[in-house]
């Protein structure tokens, strides 16, 4: 009997030891194929540098391809919460795919840290945290720059989805306040291979500037179409276009383009007083050491900032619960919401119960494409 009691005690001890050192599981859904792969692949590359342990606990990243498809992103999220029992979800990297994850993460009471600027989600906001700068923050920087450039009329050429709508909804009131008239709005799908009709209409309207709202490699195509139709005005691009793909595909056509960006790629151009200078330089240095010179990418910067957030909140959540438990998942959510002022490569983040965007209006940095590089203006 004593022998059986000893075996039982050993079994309980072993089980307790295993639970104490349970892996922190992070479900990652990214567009590794499809139109959004130019954004998702750099994020995946940054995640190869993610720490193997945080606060002494092993961290497991479960990375799945959502193929740039909202349905697939939802299926990935469903697997994360039902089969893998992840503690937090990172992703996705497109607005439509990220939005597809939101209701599933909310239902499972699992925090989702999005790599895309998802529009407001009502009561489901409570489990959604955004890494990219919100539409309002970046639109503010664009409109302020347009004012300084003397722009009086502007055209819109953007995605016919949540990303395009988010920009349009935020730009409209700001343009009105600035006395800048929106003369035409043209939309297109992410999968479109031509925007010739839209470019013809905008060129005919001949506004002082045109805002192109697209992402990654897809951002060059509409600008090329505008140039082919003879448009000579100013062209602005959003932060989703602040990648080398814009120059790789657009070539000389995108020279002189104004592109709003977070500070992550621009650390060496930022003044020493800028709070994100150190983190931006650290991100770029390590990423380019692993991936080659000039491989820096703002979407990889979001993955780097996700690491900063996890390194801050996981130790806090572990004080009250063990990984793999509902209490730990809630601890991650609460930790993100209360982590306070945290310097990211993309700016200073301060998520609160009322604000899951977190960045201030000073976050957006306006750049200009000069000799194939983004130069701070």
Give domain limits for the chain.
2-133+288-349, 135-261
Mean per-residue pLDDT, 320-332: 96
pLDDT at 155 over 60: yes
Strand partners, 376: 367
pLDDT of residue 362: 75
pLDDT at 13 over 70: no
Number of other CB atoms surrounding residue 376 within 10 Å: 15
pLDDT of residue 292: 95
Mean per-residue pLDDT, 174-186: 97
The model's pTM is 0.79
pLDDT of residue 364: 86
Task: Determine the angle formed by the axes of helices 162-178 and 95-107, rounding to 10 degrees.
Answer: 110
Select the more confidently predicted residue: 162 or 344: 344
pLDDT of residue 8: 39
Mean per-residue pLDDT, 305-313: 98
Q: Collapsing DSSP states into helix, strand and coil, what is residue 82?
A: helix
Name the burial class of residue 192, with classes exposed (0-12), middle (13-18) and buried (19+) by CB atoms within 10 angstroms of its CB: middle
Q: Note whether 2-133+288-349 and 135-261 share their fold.
A: yes
- What is the percentage of the chain residues whose pLDDT exceeds 70? 94
Task: Determine the angle formed by the axes of helices 298-318 and 37-47, rounding to 10 degrees.
Answer: 50
- Listing DSSP states for 238-283 in one string gives -GGG-SHHHHHHHGGGGTT-EEEE-GGG-GGGS-TT-TTHHHHHHH
Name the burial class of residue 195, with classes exposed (0-12), middle (13-18) and buried (19+) by CB atoms within 10 angstroms of its CB: buried
pLDDT of residue 302: 96
79: CB partners within 8 A, 6+ apart:
27, 64
pLDDT at 309 over 70: yes
Tokens, residue 270:
């930022």
Query: Which pLDDT band holds residue 4 (cuts at 50, 70, 90)?
Result: very low
- Listing DSSP states for 141-194 in one string gives HHHHHHHHTT--EEEEEEESSHHHHHHHHHHHHHHHHHT-EEEEEEEE-TT-S-
**Residue range 53-67, pLDDT digits in tens:** 999 999 999 999 999
Q: Which has the closest alpha carbon to 322: 67, 39, 87, 116? A: 87
- CATH number of 2-133+288-349, picked from 3.40.50.300, 3.40.190.10, 3.30.2320.50, 3.40.50.2300: 3.40.50.2300
| Residue for token pair 């790629």 | 265
Mean per-residue pLDDT, 21-29: 90
Q: Are strands 24-30 and 88-91 parallel, antiparallel or unpaired?
A: parallel
- In angstroms, what CA-CA distances link 237 with 57, 164, 167, 207, 263? 41, 12, 11, 15, 16
Contact 230, 202 (CB under 8 A): no
Query: Which pLDDT band holds residue 360 (cuts at 50, 70, 90)?
Result: confident
Mean per-residue pLDDT, 153-178: 95
Query: Which pLDDT band holds residue 273 (cuts at 50, 70, 90)?
Result: confident
pLDDT at 5 over 70: no
pLDDT of residue 40: 96
| Residue for token pair 């008239």 | 181
Select the more confidently predicted residue: 5 or 191: 191
pLDDT of residue 111: 98
pLDDT at 279 over 60: yes
pLDDT of residue 363: 82
pLDDT of residue 7: 39
Q: Which has the closest alpha carbon to 196: 172, 176, 214, 221? A: 221
> Class for domain 135-261, per CATH?
alpha beta
Name the burial class of residue 123, with classes exposed (0-12), middle (13-18) and buried (19+) by CB atoms within 10 angstroms of its CB: exposed
Contact 254, 242 (CB under 8 A): no
Mean per-residue pLDDT, 267-274: 90
- What is the percentage of the chain residues whose pLDDT exceeds 90? 82
pLDDT of residue 15: 39
Whether cis (ω within 30° of 0) applies to the bond prior to 23 is no
Mean of all residue pLDDT scores within the chain: 92
* H or E element at residue 340: none
pLDDT at 9 over 50: no
pLDDT at 14 over 50: no
- Listing DSSP states for 192-240 in one string gives -S--HHHHHHHHHH--SEEEEE--GGGGHHHHHHHHHTT--SEEEE-GG
pLDDT at 210 over 60: yes
| CA–CA separation, 254 and 216 (whole Å) | 13
pLDDT at 108 over 90: yes
């Amino acid at each position: 009997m004593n022998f059986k009691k000893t075996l039982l005690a050993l079994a309980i001890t072993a089980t307790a030891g295993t639970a104490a050192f349970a892996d922190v599981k992070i479900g990652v859904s990214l567009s590794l194929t499809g139109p959004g792969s130019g954004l998702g692949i750099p994020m995946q590359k940054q995640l190869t540098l993610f720490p193997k342990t945080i606060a002494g606990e092993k961290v497991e990243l479960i990375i799945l391809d959502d193929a740039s498809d909202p349905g697939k992103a939802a299926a990935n999220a469903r697997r994360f919460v039902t089969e893998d029992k992840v503690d937090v979800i990172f992703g996705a990297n497109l607005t439509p795919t990220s939005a597809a994850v939101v209701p599933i993460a909310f239902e499972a009471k699992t925090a989702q840290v999005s790599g895309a600027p998802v529009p407001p989600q009502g009561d489901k906001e409570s489990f959604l945290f955004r890494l990219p700068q919100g539409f309002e923050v970046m639109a503010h920087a664009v409109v302020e720059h347009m004012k300084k450039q003397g722009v009086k009329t502007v055209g819109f050429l953007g995605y016919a989805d949540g990303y395009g709508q988010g920009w349009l909804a935020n730009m409209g009131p700001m343009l009105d306040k600035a006395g800048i008239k929106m003369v035409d709005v043209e939309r297109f799908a992410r999968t479109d291979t031509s925007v010739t009709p839209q470019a013809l209409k905008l060129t005919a309207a001949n506004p002082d500037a045109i805002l192109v709202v697209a992402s990654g490699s897809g951002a060059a195509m509409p600008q090329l179409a505008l140039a082919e139709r003879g448009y000579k005005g100013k062209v602005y691009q959003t932060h989703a276009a602040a990648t080398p793909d814009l120059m790789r595909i657009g070539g000389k056509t995108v020279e002189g383009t104004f592109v709003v960006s977070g500070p992550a790629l621009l650390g060496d151009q930022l003044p020493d007083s800028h709070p994100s200078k150190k983190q931006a330089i650290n991100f770029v240095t390590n990423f380019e050491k692993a991936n080659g010179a000039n491989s820096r990418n703002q979407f990889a910067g979001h993955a780097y900032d996700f690491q900063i957030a996890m390194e801050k909140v996981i130790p806090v959540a572990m004080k009250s619960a063990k990984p793999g438990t509902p209490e730990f998942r809630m601890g991650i959510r609460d930790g993100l919401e209360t982590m306070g002022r945290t310097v990211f490569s993309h700016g200073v983040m301060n998520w609160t119960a009322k604000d899951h965007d977190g960045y201030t209006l000073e976050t957006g940095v306006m750049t200009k494409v000069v000799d194939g590089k983004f130069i701070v203006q």
